[in-house]
Amino acid sequence: MKTVEDLKRLRERLQAETQIRSMEGTKIIIGMGTCGIAAGAREVMSAVLDEIAKRHLQDVSVHQTGCIGMCEKEVLVDVVRPGEPRITYGKVKPADVSKIIAEHVVNGNIIEELVVGKIVK
């Protein structure tokens, strides 16, 4: 960084990244504890990011969390749509991601056969 303009560009970039993390839109949370990683969470995370990019979804943020305590159900993926219950999908494989994004994230339809939990506020 050599100029004030460089500093301004860095500030704008960091503000944009911070805004993405605090979005009010849909949140996707992926369990990335050691049990989740061993079950394939990295591959699921990559599939989620690829699908979001492919669909040009702007109001979706992706987060990771540690162990949730349901190791036998890994890979765990939570979808939190504004004003709706938090849905936890279990035993998620990369092949399930496009269906989760298309059906639940985009259209609001819960995929019952993958659900392992619902949290109603």
The mean pLDDT values, 10 residues at a time, for the chain of 121 residues are: 82 65 79 94 94 89 89 94 92 97 94 85 59
Rounded distance between C-alpha atoms, residue 74 and residue 91, angstroms: 5
Q: In Å, how far are 13, 76, 77 from 35, measured between CA atoms?
A: 34, 10, 13
pLDDT given for residue 92 in this prediction: 96
Q: Where are the domains of the chain?
A: 24-119
pLDDT given for residue 16 in this prediction: 62
Rounded distance between C-alpha atoms, residue 46 and residue 51, angstroms: 9
pLDDT given for residue 8 in this prediction: 83
Residue 110 and residue 80 in contact, taking contact as beta carbons nearer than 8 Å: no
Rounded distance between C-alpha atoms, residue 32 and residue 37, angstroms: 6
Residue 91 and residue 77 in contact, taking contact as beta carbons nearer than 8 Å: no
Q: What are the φ/ψ torsions at residue 79 (nearest 5 degrees)?
A: -120, 125
- Across 66-114, the runs of DSSP E, i.e. the strands, are 77-80, 86-89
Q: Which residue, among 36, 94, 98, has the nearest Cα to 64 in the 3D structure?
A: 36
- The pTM score is 0.78
Q: Write out the CATH class of domain 24-119.
A: alpha beta
